[in-house]
Amino acid sequence: MEMTLGSSASEESARRAPHRALTEAEDLSVDLMQNAGSTPKALILFGPPGSGKGTQAKLLKETLSIPHISTGDMLRERIASDDSLGLQLKELMHAGRLVPDDVVNRLVEERISLPDCSGGFILDGYPRTHQQAEVLDRRLHERGFEPVVIHLKVDYTKVIARIAGRRQCPVCGTLYSLTSNPPRNPEFCDLDGAALVIRDDDRESVIRERLEAYERQTRPVLDFFAASGAAVHEVDGHEGSPQEILHRIRSVMGWE
């Protein structure tokens, strides 16, 4: 495989190696370093809300040592600043609707220009409209990144159940699922003990609105990438644990 990575992955593995056995994630990053090629990739995680994009993005970030860029997380941070744009975003997001293209396009463009993205990066939740896909595709070509789409396929009954059981740590961002990846105590984060929260837009009426927005505005983006000649990989995100789904991604990417 051809994933260009910065030197930080090997330095980090080397620094940690004497202290404990390598995890599966670190094993993969060693493989990737051995096979590093020349074209940095933009890995685009695609799928409906609740398909596991955020979970897989975090696992891939560990295995590849490249940044994880979540537009949902960036927008939630933006909301915290409480100015008039923040308030507009909050209203749209809490209703399960998409925020305007130019807002997210600008956030992503700024983020991928930072030096830590030069060896590739993972996009989670972007692009979500045809216009975002066109803008991204242009930027990637200008900057010499190859788009690779990983489409996590799940059915909607599963998505609704998954989202309803989703909890997040407001401090470190760790995601839990009360069914498939529960914290030791259902109310607190395993890592820092903070009280877990349910996102406002994870309530059932809003979930349906988000799924409709996905069907109407986001799903057609797959056709855009297929027509543009980008690699589009289909992965079953429905059955199995997050680690099993990660394995499927690794195998379609030729990383094992």
What positions carry a catalytic annotation?
53, 128, 166, 199, 210
Cβ neighbours, 10 Å, residue 78 = 19
23 CB contacts (<8 Å, ≥6 apart)?
none
CB nearer to ligand ADP: give 40 or 72.
Answer: 72
**Is residue 126 near ligand ADP by the rule CB under 6 A?**
yes
Q: In whole angstroms, what is the distance from residue 174 CA to residue 169 CA?
A: 5
CB nearer to ligand ADP: give 5 or 159.
Answer: 159
- From first CA to last CA, the distance across the chain in angstroms is 9
236 CB contacts (<8 Å, ≥6 apart)?
153, 245, 248
Q: In whole angstroms, what is the distance from residue 112 CA to residue 118 CA?
A: 8
3-state SS string for 28-90:
HHHHHHHCCCCCCEEEEEECCCCCCHHHHHHHHHHHHCCCEEEHHHHHHHHHCCCCHHHHHHH
CB nearer to ligand ADP: give 128 or 167.
Answer: 128
Q: How far is CA 18 from CA 21, 32, 61, in A?
A: 8, 20, 22
Binding mask 128-147 for ligand ADP (x = CB under 6 A): x---x---------------
CB nearer to ligand ADP: give 29 or 174.
Answer: 174
- Give me the helices (H) in the chain, please: 8-16, 24-34, 53-64, 71-79, 84-94, 101-112, 130-143, 156-164, 204-213, 220-228, 242-253
CB of residue 3 to ligand ADP, shortest distance in Å: 24
CB closest to ligand ADP, residue no: 72
Tell me the window of 46-54, 80-88, 139-147, 168-176 that interacts with ligand ADP (CB under 6 A). 46-54
Residues in region 82-121 near ligand ADP by CB under 6 A = 92-93, 96-99, 104
CB of residue 57 to ligand ADP, shortest distance in Å: 10
**Is residue 207 near ligand ADP by the rule CB under 6 A?**
no
Tell me the window of 12-20, 57-65, 70-78, 180-188 that interacts with ligand ADP (CB under 6 A). 70-78
CB nearer to ligand ADP: give 53 or 58.
Answer: 53
Tell me the window of 124-132, 145-153, 177-185, 244-252 that interacts with ligand ADP (CB under 6 A). 124-132
Q: Which residues contact ligand ADP (rule: CB under 6 A)?
A: 49-50, 53, 71-72, 75, 92-93, 96-99, 104, 125-126, 128, 132, 201, 210
